[in-house]
């Protein structure tokens, strides 16, 4: 039995990856080409970016954020990175090193913010202090700091590495509960408005497996290990569920999410507009909020008053 193996659909050279949803195999060169094409298609289809956008990429040190940064630079965009140190023990230390190394090797600018250093708390402590799951405090902190850094730095677009699997999993969760407000907002682009930068997701046409493969082929070192605080969360469960269906019926994730954008999102557009009305400003930081003090400032007040909690105490028993 020799290494006959599969051939690239484009050039018939030996393949390095099989993509069941395209019913095809690709060599390294043509796999990268496919990824670039999908990003360009997403940018054009959803009107995500202008050529002269000043882009800030939210970078975690994981595969998706490094891949999207790499792809945008390759495609000729101007993009800086932003890393938020979440204080999740060794995991955060290592993820920050991956992000910094990627930036240094390419001569790119990486802005770094430390939750503990600048706001007096970290995610394990925030989780304990608020008695909520860590991913809740983490998402809230990141959203606020990404928005703030983009606006303060004069960036015209905030890019995140959310991929097709991320979006399909969130869509599944929102659909199961018929969360109409969330469904109406689940778009690859949210336009800039008072207090918020334009936010875009150029990887929505690419799967998580394709993004990991992009990093392997491009020689990008990223943090493979899972966040210790995310283990077992509902989002991961939804991804596993979708991948079980995908294995039986390749193309399901793309159909589920991309057809939602095409057929369902337009029906929710009025709801989205209504939802955007009537935000005031936070009396502490000036950010948009529906209350007097925004959720981030309330989190900072609660979490920074709590004595630091090591990550092990919060992950144990989850």
Partner 1 sequence: MKVLLRNPTREIEIDGRRRVHALLTELGLNRESHLVIRNGTLVPGDGELHADDVIEIRPVISGGA
Rule CB under 8 A: which of 71-130 touch partner 1? none
Query: Smallest distance, Å, CB 226 to partner 1?
Result: 5
Instruction: Work out which of 25, 127, 141, 287 binds partner 1, going by CB under 8 A.
Output: 25
Instruction: Work out which of 231, 255, 267, 305 binds partner 1, going by CB under 8 A.
Output: 231
d(CA 145, CA 83): 10
d(CA 99, CA 110): 8
194 vs 240, beta carbon nearer partner 1: 240
Question: If DSSP states are collapsed to H, E and C, what string results for the chain?
Answer: CCCCCCECCCCCCECCEEEHHHCEEECHHHHHHHHHHHHHHHHHHCCCCCCCCEEEEECCCCHHHHHHHHHHHHCCCEEEEEEEECCCHHHHHHHHHHHHHHHHHHCCCEEEEEHHHHHCCCHHHHHHHHCCCHHHHHHHHHHHHHHHHHHHCCCCEEECCCCHHHHHHHHHHHHHCCCHHHHHHCCCEECCECCECCEECCCCCCCHHHHHHHHHHHCCCCCCCCCCCCCCCHHHHHHHHHHHHHHHCCCHHHHHHHHHHHHHHHHHHHHHHHHCCCCEECCCCCCEECCCCCHHHHHHHHHHCCCCCCHHHHHCCC
Among residues 35, 19, 16, 28, which one has the least CA distance to residue 75?
A: 35
Query: Smallest distance, Å, CB 139 to partner 1?
Result: 6
Query: Smallest distance, Å, CB 4 to partner 1?
Result: 8
Instruction: Work out which of 59, 183, 213, 309 binds partner 1, going by CB under 8 A.
Output: 213
Binding segment toward partner 1, per CB under 8 A, in 44-52, 224-232, 260-268, 285-293: 224-232
Q: Is residue 287 at the binding interface for partner 1, with CB under 8 A as the rule?
A: no
Instruction: Work out which of 22, 189, 218, 235 binds partner 1, going by CB under 8 A.
Output: 235
CA 114 to chain centre: 19
Binding mask 166-205 for partner 1 (x = CB under 8 A): x---x-----------------------------------
Tell me phi and psi for residue 193, to 5 degrees: -150, 180
Instruction: Work out which of 10, 32, 73, 135 binds partner 1, going by CB under 8 A.
Output: 135
Instruction: Work out which of 30, 63, 201, 205 binds partner 1, going by CB under 8 A.
Output: 63
Q: Is residue 225 at the binding interface for partner 1, with CB under 8 A as the rule?
A: yes
Instruction: Work out which of 62, 85, 87, 124 binds partner 1, going by CB under 8 A.
Output: 62
Return left, alpha or beta for 178; rule: phi > 0 is left, psi -120 to 50 is alpha, else beta.
left
Query: Smallest distance, Å, CB 292 to partner 1?
Result: 27
- Structure token digits, residue 6: 């599969």
Instruction: Work out which of 113, 211, 297, 311 binds partner 1, going by CB under 8 A.
Output: 211
Binding segment toward partner 1, per CB under 8 A, in 198-206, 217-225, 275-283, 289-297: 217-225
15 vs 282, beta carbon nearer partner 1: 15
Instruction: Work out which of 247, 255, 269, 305 binds partner 1, going by CB under 8 A.
Output: 247
Q: Is residue 1 at the binding interface for partner 1, with CB under 8 A as the rule?
A: yes
Residues in contact with partner 1 by CB under 8 A are: 1-3, 5-6, 15-18, 20, 25, 28, 60, 62-64, 135, 138-139, 165-166, 170, 207-209, 211-213, 216-217, 219, 224-227, 230-231, 233, 235-236, 239-240, 243-244, 246-247
């Amino acid at each position: 039995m020799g290494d006959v193996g599969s051939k690239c659909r484009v050039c018939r050279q030996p393949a390095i990856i099989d993509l069941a949803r395209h019913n095809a195999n690709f060599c390294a060169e043509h796999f990268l080409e496919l990824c670039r094409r999908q990003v360009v298609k997403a940018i054009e289809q959803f009107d995500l970016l202008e050529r002269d956008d000043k882009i800030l990429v939210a970078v975690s040190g994981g595969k998706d954020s490094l891949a999207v940064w790499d792809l945008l630079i390759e495609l000729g965009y101007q993009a800086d990175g932003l890393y938020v140190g979440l204080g999740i023990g060794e995991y955060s230390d290592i993820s920050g090193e991956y992000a910094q190394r990627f930036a240094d090797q390419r001569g790119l600018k990486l802005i770094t913010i430390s939750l503990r250093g600048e706001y007096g708390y970290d995610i394990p402590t925030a989780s304990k202090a608020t008695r909520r799951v860590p991913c809740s405090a983490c998402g809230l902190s990141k959203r606020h700091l990404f928005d703030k850094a983009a606006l303060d730095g004069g960036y015209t677009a905030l890019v995140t590495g959310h991929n097709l699997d991320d979006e399909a999993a969130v869509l599944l969760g929102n659909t199961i509960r018929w969360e109409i407000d969330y469904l109406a907002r689940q778009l690859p682009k949210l336009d800039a408005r008072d207090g918020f930068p334009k936010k875009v997701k150029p990887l929505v046409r690419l799967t998580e497996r394709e993004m990991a493969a992009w990093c392997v082929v491009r020689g990008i070192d990223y943090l493979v290990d899972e966040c210790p605080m995310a283990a077992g969360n509902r989002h991961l469960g939804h991804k596993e569920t979708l991948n079980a269906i995908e294995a039986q019926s390749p193309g399901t994730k793309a159909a589920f999410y991309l057809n939602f954008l095409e057929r369902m999102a337009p029906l929710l557009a009025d709801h989205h507009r209504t939802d955007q009305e009537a935000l005031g400003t936070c009396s502490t930081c000036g950010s948009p909020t529906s209350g007097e003090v925004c959720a981030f400032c309330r989190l900072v007040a609660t979490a920074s008053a709590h004595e630091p909690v090591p990550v092990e105490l919060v992950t144990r028993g989850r």
